[in-house]
Amino acid sequence: MAKFYEYFKENMDALGLPAPESLFGSLSAATATASTLLTQIDKFGKTVTVGELATAGTRLEKLGVIAACSAAFYVGAVIGSIAVATGRALSGGTSIADVLSMARANNLDRQWLSACLIKFPGIYKREVLGKHHYRQAMVVA
């Protein structure tokens, strides 16, 4: 999967979200980062922001640029982007079933994940227009 990070970053860029290579440069790094995010969301609740997690002593400091963004949305985007990158690297496409299957296989599934993916299909579908507006929709007031 030589192009994993390229595809992952392309999908995250389309969503207007940062994807530092040090956190997401490979499938294993991206999965570990998603797991870290989910552990923190499990601990602090799904309304926690990325900024709150970045200052809570985690290795997520590089994500401080999106401090007001919902951590649940961001990790949904990360999980969707992992599935997109994996799907494109292996077979050229991704469906919601692929995303949920990948999440289950890597212990990244949560009860709220499918609702997030249904509400924001641009997380995993390249052809969705306007997905760069998702970031503004997920800022926690």
pTM score of the predicted model? 0.68
Q: Give the pLDDT score at 29.
A: 94
Range of weakest confidence among 39-48, 69-78, 120-129: 120-129
Sequence-distant (≥ 6) Cβ neighbours of residue 16 within 8 angstroms: 132, 133, 134, 135, 136
Compute the Cα dihedral for 106, 9, 38, 70 and give only its sign: negative
Checking if the pLDDT of 87 tops 50, the result is yes
